[in-house]
Chain A
Amino acid sequence: MRNLLLAGVCAAALMGNPAFADDIKQGGEMTVTYKDDVSTLDPAIGYDWQNWSMIKSLFDGLMDYVPGTTELRPDLAEAYEISGDGKIFTFKLRQGVKFHNGRELTAEDVKYSIERVVNPTTQSPGAGFFSSIKGFEDVSAGKGGDLSGIAVQDPHTIRFELSRPDATFLHVMALNFAHVVPKEEVEKHGADFGKNPVGSGAFKLAEWTLGQRLVFERFADYWNEGLPKLDRITFEVGQEPVVALLRLQNGEIDVPGDGIPPAKFVEVTKDPNFKELIIQGGQLHTGYVTMNVKMAPFDKVEVRKAVNMAINKDRILRIINGRAVAANQPLPPSMPGYAKDYKGYAYDPEGAKKLLEQAGLGDGFSTELYVMNTDPQPRIAQAIQQDLKAIGITASIKSLAQANVIAAGGEENQAPMVWSGGMAWIADFPDPSNFYGPILGCGGAVPGGWNWSWYCNEELDKKAAEADAIVDPAKAAEREAMWRDIYVKIMEDAPWAPIFNEERFTIRSERIGGDDKLFVDPVHIPVHYDQVYAKDVQ
């Protein structure tokens, strides 16, 4: 079986939404502010939410997502083929794609870019994502050479051979780490490439004054005609979120990149002047309490279920001013594979007490709850503490710096319970598997790992591997169902008490237009810079 997917057809079908219509004129500009300096714009290195979407506008990869959604579509690739066994991916590149320096982008550049990320001297945090490509072990161990699994067949065809079928591979190709860089520029700037980025994206970097501002200008030779909509984006850095909000009110800026500061949240959301400008959207995030299944009494499933039933999530939502929705399973609602009909464990302290009795712990017990020490996390932990007290569990709160909580969670016998707030998992790409391996699978239940409940269900691990081996896009629904089943099964064992899924609140000025979805794009955070437009030039 071979699948051929034509990008044009696919994109045209999805472009039906009027928000992305082509009759929007190009031109105009906008100003975005951030509190922190932009660290780097090197796609191999940048891995924070601030530079993630900036890099996406300067660089392109083989794959991307339909704006505002989690739906994959080819980007620099024109078409791709997947072999029947799911181990060989062949991408056909677009003709005439140019880098900002004028040179044409070829398959050699794609190969170079991915090998650069895997090469340990690059120190890329994303190297591990490419572990399914043949030859990964050797190159990542520093033995040098090329990735044996990548072959350039002609200047516009590249073939990847994997050591195992990997259904997430197309998502991996959409990650920034797989974005294409020109070798000559990387070599010219060496370690400073991140400050002198040259890509093939919709915008090019026109100015970077350290500590003050970055200016992106429209790349006139961009392959995707009609994009980007804006001529210019100015990023002003070093602006406190409170000050940024004042400047927004004054009409000086368009998007405060850090969002609405928590201290101002209630005031801003109730202000009639802002009402029309605030956009709310889901985030691929879940906040949860882990229970270490290797530490008594959390080795008993009744106890873990009782904790799930004891926590009053609505009260916690009130503590954070409703900036989230209650969760009953590991996956967030906007993630494919989310089980809509799954009810989870309802708030039921009486039932929880009964479960504790069944476990022989009718008199309760004492335990510890680890939490990160910045607001609002300790307040959330206190709410959980009170809820647990009501069913007889005395939890003392260990409020520590982020690094210490992460370290404690990664020790087998250290933290009986951890509230994940401030450290929680936000997905790298919108695929259900991204919430499993490192945080719920056996692979993450290792010292220094992120599976803080130390839950390891080998049967589910096997099912997960099976699901990820279903590469055929036609069977995507089947794969999604398998994952849905895996997460529901996990909840039967209840190693986590899922608490809430954070919502994003973006605010933008009146002069910037575009579908609401573009401002809460699940991948391009906080704004899809290529797609939003200026109303004053329409």
Chain B
Amino acid sequence: MMAYIARRLLQTVVILLGISFVTFILLYLIPADPARQIAGRSATAQTVENIREQLGLNLPFYEQYMRYVGGLVQGDFGRSYLQKTEVSTLIASRLPASLLLMAGAITCELIFGLTMGIVAALRRGSRTDDTLMIASFVGVSAPQFVVGILLLYVFAVKLGWFPIGGYGTFAHLVLPSLTLGFLGAGWYSRMMRSSLIEVMRQDFIRTARATGNGRAKVLFRHAMPNAILPVIAMIGIDIGLFMSGIVVVESVFGWPGIGQLAWQAIQRVDIPIIMGVTLVSAFAIVLGNLLADLITPLIDPRIKLR
């Protein structure tokens, strides 16, 4: 087990290096000239040249990259070109908000997704099933910025139940979590439904029923632990979806997380921030996958890690 984790973490380092390299190339190829951007339109050629030199932008590509990786190893993500602050400070100050939003979203996904999935599976082929599956289809397909604005308009502006965007209290968390969780709830309900239907057909369920267990006991004691497996694995993989989701949702709700930071940085081509957020998200995704892999054998002893 420990050897497995060590091997996976080592792989993670390689993956992150690869991602940093690809991102660095892409950002290097963008035609925007950071020195000119920092210098502003009234700057003399001399000023631009000075800035280029101080930031090391006049160096050849591989040297710039080596410098960057050298900094990364020491935990230095560089300084934002436009915000004039350490990227690590910016990310650290915003990460808690994003994690909180993610936790909120996962909660929403599980509550709505699992409930809908179970109900649909138990009422398979009924009108309830159809309605729920159409709802989940809508959840999967609806663009998050539309859902976000709609929820804001209805529940915050018209009904006044929640604050109109912002951050700080539990009430602030509800609408963004719902928006972000909507998509996942759609996926989870479909997955839960098909998985549960599959499991309910198995022999051991018939045996459990035949030995006189009640409906609820069969469902929660015997069927669920098996049916929930793919969903658990999905949560780990979902971190990737979250990372793209928070960019939109955080912007709509004015939620001060790293997604909003990334969005602002992209618009202003603030390369050190884009690099930093990309690496942090990549790390989160890899970590999410690892956790999913580690949890699976705990739920299903048939699966062994090698």
Contacts and interface: CB of A to CB of B under 8 A. Distances in A.
Nearest to B46: A140
Nearest to B47: A127
A219 B31 CA distance: 44
Interface string B81-95: 011110001100110
Given A211-B94, A236-B254, A243 B39 contact: no
A37 B264 contact: yes
Interface string B147-181: 00100110011001000111100000000000000
A194 B152 contact: no
A40 B84 CA distance: 7
Given A211-B256, A212-B167, A247-B164, A127 B43 contact: yes
B43 A120 contact: no
A210 B46 contact: no
Contact of B164 (A211, A238, A246): A246
A203 B83 CA distance: 21
B279 interface: no
A120 B85 contact: no
A249 B157 contact: yes
Contact of B31 (A42, A123, A194, A403): A403
B252 A243 contact: yes
A208 to B, nearest CB: 10
A366 interface: no
Interface in A204-244: 209-212, 236, 238-240, 242-243
A101 interface: no
Q: How large is the interface on A (under 10, 10 to 19, 20 to 34, 35 or more residues)?
A: 35 or more
A125 B46 CA distance: 11
B32 A401 contact: yes
B215 interface: no
Contact of B254 (A121, A195, A240): A240
Interface in A174-223: 191-192, 194-195, 209-212
Q: How large is the interface on B (under 10, 10 to 19, 20 to 34, 35 or more residues)?
A: 35 or more
B41 interface: yes
Contacts of A39: 82-84
A243 B165 contact: yes
Interface in A47-78: 47
Contacts of A131: 44
Given A242-B149, A246-B164, A247-B165, A120 B90 contact: no
B50 interface: yes
A252 interface: yes
A525 to B, nearest CB: 16
Interface in B247-295: 250-257, 260-261, 264, 267-269
Contact of B39 (A125, A140, A402): A125
B33 A403 contact: yes
A129 B47 contact: no
Contacts of A47: 40
A40 B90 CA distance: 13
Contacts of B153: 246
A358 interface: no
B157 A250 contact: yes
B261 to A, nearest CB: 7
Nearest to A119: B50
B6 interface: no
A407 B46 contact: no
A212 B261 CA distance: 11
B218 interface: no
B133 interface: no
Given A131-B44, A246-B152, A403-B33, 14 more contacts: A123-B50, A192-B84, A210-B256, A211-B257, A211-B261, A243-B164, A243-B252, A247-B164, A250-B160, A250-B164, A403-B32, A403-B269, A407-B33, A448-B45
Interface of B: 30-33, 36-47, 50-51, 54, 79, 82-85, 89-90, 93-94, 97, 149, 152-153, 156-157, 160, 164-167, 250-257, 260-261, 264, 267-269
24 contacts: A42-B84, A120-B50, A124-B47, A126-B40, A128-B43, A140-B47, A210-B85, A210-B89, A210-B90, A210-B93, A210-B256, A211-B94, A236-B166, A238-B250, A238-B255, A238-B260, A239-B254, A240-B251, A243-B164, A243-B165, A243-B254, A403-B30, A403-B31, A448-B45
